[in-house]
Amino acid sequence: MRDCFIARLSQMAEKDPRIMLITGDLGFCVLDDYRERFPNQFINAGVAEQNMAGLATGLALEGYIVYIYSIANFVFMRCLEQIRNDASYHNCNVNVVCIGGGFSYGALGISHHATEDLAIMRSLPGLTVVSPCDHWEATEATEAIANTPGVSYLRLDKSTAGTAIKSDDDFQIGKARVVREGSDLTLAATGGILAEALSAAEELAQQGIQARVLSVHTLKPLDVDAFAAAATETGGIITVEEHTVHGGLGGAVAEALLERGETPQFFHRIGLRHGFSSVVGSQDYLRTQYDMDCQAITAKAMQLLKSNLLDLKLHAQVAA
């Protein structure tokens, strides 16, 4: 995803001198070409994330469209105060780019596991929160956030669902995409873990179960209409995220549906439920350890569908 990001940003910088990229002393292999081509639109702020965010705010107030770029938690958690008090409060066009969402840097441990970022950034007033699921979404989101007022958070994953697009797809901030049709249940995923949801849908299809799959690339604003439709048109909703279940995609969906008065037949959040992600290993290994992989999604879907069917039969017997 990061290659998709820098390729589109380079195209934008070529056309618009207001584009500015600031890095926290990393990404040199990825950023080498950009730095050489656009030396006046690139700053290395060093290992000083708070200063990076403050500098970005100042540039944005002068009319620049600024991207700050660093690994996972470093780009937002270390400078959260500056993002909140400086950039967000003043509604600046500062785009916070997180490289390595979720377990992307799994072998480096908890300091590099971005598993609370969506909840934290979603809570800040005026922020747009974008978590692309595939290469195409990462590319389109890079430019879309530049045209979105205020601060945006772009969470880029090491994994990806490839390029899960249809010929008539149109990327819009706040608009989820139906990447697979189905009516038995809905699997809604954000980030590269969409690939696991799509694999689970294939497994379910082999058992005669048709799952609708939503690519939820924007958590804020959330596409409430897509989830309201899922609640009424499919048997239930399972959200999938490489993130804590507290305050992320699942929390956002539950809040929105309850406030709107929509109740799916069943609802379940797949995500980190075991406190901190204290295990280390590859991204795939950690998904398996924390019950977020294809097998875990498939098993939970089967369990919920079976339980819901039994409940419906029981209610029918009582009513009779």
Q: Is the pLDDT at 165 greater than 70, yes or no? A: no
49 is catalytic: yes
Domains of the chain in start order, with CATH, are 2-156 (3.40.50.970), 177-316 (3.40.50.920)
pLDDT of residue 314: 45
- Which tens digit of pLDDT belongs to each residue from 166-176? 556 789 999 99
pLDDT of residue 170: 86
pLDDT tier at 161, thresholds 50, 70, 90: confident
pLDDT of residue 127: 97
Q: What is the mean pLDDT of residues 204-233?
A: 97
pLDDT of residue 116: 97
pLDDT of residue 126: 94
Residues 119 and 157: their CA atoms lie apart, in Å, by: 16
- Which tens digit of pLDDT belongs to each residue from 7-48? 999 999 999 999 999 999 987 789 999 999 999 999 999 999
- Which tens digit of pLDDT belongs to each residue from 46-105? 999 999 999 999 999 999 999 999 998 999 999 999 999 999 999 999 999 999 999 999
Its pTM stands at 0.94
pLDDT of residue 169: 77
pLDDT of residue 302: 96
Looking at per-residue confidence, does 51 or 163 come out higher? Answer: 51
Which residue among the candidates 49, 137, 196, 241 is catalytic per the annotation?
A: 49
- Which tens digit of pLDDT belongs to each residue from 226-271? 999 999 999 999 999 999 999 999 999 999 999 999 999 999 999 9
